[in-house]
Every structure is written in C-alpha cells, then in structure tokens.
Amino acid sequence: MEKKDLLIIVWSVVIAVIQFVIGTFLANFEILYIGYLGITALMIIIFPYSIIVYLRVRNAKGMEEYFPAFLKDISEAKRAGMTIPNAIALSAETDYGPLTKEVKRFSNLLSWGIPFPESIRLLQDRVKYSIYIKRGLAILLEAYFTGGRIEDSMDAVAESTRMLKEVEKDRESTLQQQLIIVYLIHFIFIGILVALYTILIPLLSFQGGGGAGLVATFGGGKPPPLDFYKLLFFLTMTIQSFGNGMVAGVTKEGSLAAGAKHAGIMLSVALLTFAMFIFPKMFTINLMSSKTEITTSEMVELYGSVTLENEPLVGIEVKANFGGNIGVASTDEYGDFSILIKAPTVEGTYNAEVNSNYEGLEAVANVQITVR
C-alpha cells in the first residue's frame, strides 16, 4: 500500500469518527440515529479508498487497450531501421489515450541517457496496476538481455495482449446479462422493503384500536415501534447494496475494486429510496366503516385510529366527508375515533374520506361504501 493510500485511509477514519461522535451527541444517543451514523461512518472509511482503487484499475484497463498498438508501432519503426530510443520518441507523438503520458515519460527517460533496461523497470513501477503491461514489459526486458530480434518479441507480446483483452471483453459481454439480473434483484428487494414498511406493517399493527398488533411484540404486548423497522430496513438495504455491488463487480469485471462502483450506485438508490419512503415520520389514519352497503340518508359509523410512528395520538381532530356530508371527531386516550355520519341522498358508490393534520403532517384514508 502506498503512503498516500494510507494517508487517505487515516483521514477517512478520523472524519468518520468525528462525524459519528458529534452526530451521536446531537441525536441524544438514540439507537436509530446511532445506526445511521455507524453505517455512514463505515461508508466514509470504505468508499474514498475503494473509489481511488477503482479509478486506478479503470485507468490501467484503458492503458491496456492501447498497449498492443504502442508495441506494434515500435516494432515497425525498428524494422524500418530506427533505434529503439528513436522509435519510442516517434511513438511519443502518437495519441495512446491513458498510455500517452507514460509513453512520453518513457521517451524522456531514454533521451536523458537512462539505459533501456532501467527505463523499462521505471515504466513497470508506473503501470504496476496493469498485470498485462507489467508482464509484457518483463518479457521485452528478457528479450533485450538475451539478444535477437526484439521487434519480433514486441509483436508477440502485442498479439498476446490483444487476444487476452478480447477474451476479457467476450467474458464481460457474456456476463452482462448476469449483471442486469443482480441489479433487478436489488431493485425488487428495495421495492419489497418499501411495500412492507408502507403497507403491510401498518396493517399488521392495526387491530381496530390502539391495542397490540398482529406482528411480533415487545414487552408489554406492544408491537415494535417503527424506529425498530426503520433501523432494520436501513441496515438491510445497506448490507444488500454492499453485497450486491461486490457480486456485480466480480461478475462483470472480475474485481472487487470495480464492485465499489456498483455498490455506490446501488447504495445511492437504496438511500434515496429510504429517505423518500421510510425515513419520514409515518402519520397514519386506520379507517373502517360499520357497513359497506346502506340506504340513502341512513346513518353509518366511521371509526378507526390515528397514529404517529405506530404510536396513538390523543386529542387529534379528525374530519370525515361522505358524499358532501361532513363529520368531525377527536381521538380518545387510545388514539381511536368514531364519527356517525349520514349517507348521501343519491344512490351510488362513494369513497368516505377521513383526514387529519398534525405538526405539518397530513394523513388521509378512505373506505368505499355503496348507497342503495
């Protein structure tokens, strides 16, 4: 590991610890926020170094694409009668993408009188993240010492590198479908978690009143608070994103460093979804009606409960609208309400709507009733 890599890791750890400690105090040591801060701290530690490694690997792959052309140009110039330093100096004027900078540096070293073997070794140190180029340069160095036609060795190395890159591209193309499947699995998993939190858990937690839910309960027969599910789903989304990202990186590009890119994409989607659908406070009205079919002008009871984060709210005003007829009530000590309201005078199917407001939050629920 290079010194600058170690420095990046150290600074990442320092920043992560500082944000975790300060955030913990600001959050009053609430377990849910401590969980968020812990995952965030882990991301701060892992992602900077992972991204740097990924960028290095991507740059190395870019240089590998041009390496065969570079060797071909040198061998052709050598066959034309040029010396190796002159051939490399001529090649330095050609655009080889990410490899151009290293070719120019290689040419400068030779022009300064540094021997060819030493220049090759220095170039190997510069491209140490590319296995193909390092191996190719090592073969050229051996060919230089053993004598003979080094241009033939360059052609052989260029052709073998080109073939290996083609095999790698074919493999990546074949595995592209598997990568798409990994992404689809990830997005479907996130969708299931959102559906569980926004639809199923509130339904299971409602039992016609402020009593215990149908889900597993904590002490005292109470259902788990929504903070429990928020932390659980946050950790689940994070672990799933890291795991799927690493699998995607190894599947597509055969590298854990490449997995950092996919993990970053998946984690960004997961955190955005979490911030939009799960993190906000859940202000909910659970609504039922005493009848689903009534006659015109008949009285019907609309009842249910009002909760904030699955906790009952007391003394909250609830308004009902049933075909233009208005009813108002307040929640009792259990968060329950009951509104007796008259049916419309015109037959038809109506949505009886109930709404309430609390600290800037608004909740609406409706139930379908047929009037005959």
- Model confidence at 177: pLDDT above 90: no
Mean residue pLDDT across the chain: 85
DSSP 248-317: HHHHHHS-HHHHHHHHHHHHHHHHHHIIIIISS--EEEEEEES-SEE-TT-EEEEEEEEEETTEE-SS-E
Domain boundary among 244, 262, 280: 280
Distance separating alpha carbons of residues 112 and 102, to the nearest angstrom: 15
Identify the pLDDT of residue 314.
92
Same domain, 202 and 120: yes
For residue 17, what pLDDT is reported? 92
pLDDT at 208: 41
Q: Assess whether 180 and 309 both reside in one domain.
A: no
What would the pLDDT profile of 222-273 be if each residue is shown by its tens digit?
Answer: 667 777 888 888 889 988 998 898 888 887 777 776 787 788 888 888 888 9
194 shares its domain with 288? no
**Residue 347 structural domain:** 283-371
Count of domains forming the chain: 2
pLDDT tens column, 77-135: 888 888 888 888 888 888 999 999 999 999 999 889 898 889 889 988 888 888 889 98
The CA-CA-CA angle for residues 49, 51, 53, to 5°, reads 70
- Band the pLDDT of 320: cuts 50, 70, 90: very high
**Could you report the per-residue pLDDT of 61-73, keeping only the tens digit for each?**
899 999 999 999 9
Quick one: 98 and 169 in the same domain?
yes
158 shares its domain with 215: yes
What does the alpha-carbon distance between residue 14 and residue 45 come to, in Å, rounded to a whole number?
9
* CATH number, domain with residue 317: 2.60.40.10
- Rounded to the nearest 10 degrees, how much is the dihedral formed by the CA atoms of 36, 9, 263, 242? -60
H or E element that contains 320: strand 317-322
Comparing CA positions, the residue from 330, 230, 337 lying closest to residue 274 is: 230
Say if residue 266 is in the same domain as residue 138: yes
Quote the CA–CA distance of 232 and 255 in Å, as a whole number. 29
Q: Which of 245, 280, 315 is the last residue of a domain?
A: 280
Residues in CB range of 8: below 8 A, 6 or more apart? 48, 49, 52
Does residue 293 sit in the same domain as residue 221?
no
Backbone angles phi and psi of 253, in degrees to 5: -120, 0
Q: What is the largest CA-CA distance in the chain?
A: 106
Query: 274 and 287 share a domain?
Result: no
Do 139 and 173 belong to one domain?
yes
**Which of the two residues, 201 and 214, has the higher pLDDT score?**
201
119, containing H or E segment: helix 116-126
* 186 plus 321 within the same structural domain: no
Q: Which two tokens stand for residue 280?
A: 């906000």
- Regarding whether 169 and 140 lie in a shared domain, the answer is yes
| Same structural domain, 93 and 171 | yes
Length of the chain as a residue count: 372
Structural element, H or E, at residue 321? strand 317-322
